[in-house]
């Protein structure tokens, strides 16, 4: 399932000031946090996931390809993809670093009988982690980061 960019904020693009360290050409990402770790299931709520990045050659994103990929730990399914707009990129190969904030909608609870997405007061909670990875224009993949445990209220 493909989700379009809802909110993408790049806190610091270092094309003018350079990076704080000399990184590799592959993107490197670090988990910062989430705005909440408890939500009702089935896209009834959303949270903010924030991470920092650094890329040695500054070739992150473009207007036609996804650059950020978010997966659900329960089945490794791709739950959201995001683009980094081309107008934020420099034509020069300079290091980029900053912070990206994403909106991620809640997922469905998954029950023992493999059904999902309906209220089930007998289950109570389901839980998952979100994993995230970036890819630059050269096809280099970043490391993978993981969110803290996210709990879903299955009773609603």
CATH number (domain holding residue 70): 2.60.40.10
Q: Report the alpha-carbon distance of residue 103 to residue 108 in Å, rounded.
A: 16
pLDDT recorded at residue 8 = 43
In a domain, 3, yes or no: no
Q: 38 phi and psi, to 5 degrees?
A: -140, 125
In a domain, 124, yes or no: yes
Q: Report the alpha-carbon distance of residue 117 to residue 154 in Å, rounded.
A: 8
pLDDT recorded at residue 23 = 77
Nearest-10 Cα torsion for 130, 73, 76, 111: -120
Tell me the pTM: 0.84
Going residue by residue through the chain (156 aa), what tens digit of pLDDT does each one get?
334 333 344 443 333 346 767 678 899 999 999 999 999 999 889 999 999 999 888 888 888 899 999 999 999 999 999 998 866 555 666 888 899 999 999 999 999 888 888 998 888 999 999 999 999 999 999 999 999 999 999 998
Residue 126 β-bridge partners: 152
Number of domains in the chain: 1
In a domain, 4, yes or no: no
Q: Whose CA is closest to 105, among 31, 37, 51, 42?
A: 42
Is residue 88 helix, strand or coil? helix
Burial class (CB in 10 A: 0-12, 13-18, 19+), 50: middle
In a domain, 137, yes or no: yes
Range of the domain at 59: 9-153
């Amino acid at each position: 399932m493909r989700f379009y960019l809802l909110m993408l904020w790049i806190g610091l693009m270092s094309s003018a000031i350079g990076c704080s360290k000399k990184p590799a050409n592959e993107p490197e990402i670090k988990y910062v946090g989430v705005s909440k770790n408890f939500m009702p299931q089935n896209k009834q709520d959303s949270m903010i996931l924030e991470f920092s990045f650094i890329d040695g050659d500054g070739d992150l994103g473009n207007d036609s390809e996804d650059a950020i990929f978010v997966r659900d730990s329960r089945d490794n399914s791709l739950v959201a993809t995001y683009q980094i707009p081309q107008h934020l990129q420099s034509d020069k190969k300079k290091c980029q670093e900053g912070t990206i904030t994403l909106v991620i909608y809640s997922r469905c609870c998954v029950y023992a009988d493999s059904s999902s997405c309906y209220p089930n007061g007998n289950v109570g909670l389901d839980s998952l982690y979100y994993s995230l990875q970036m890819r630059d224009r050269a096809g280099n993949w970043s490391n993978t980061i993981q969110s803290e445990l996210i709990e879903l209220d299955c009773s609603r």
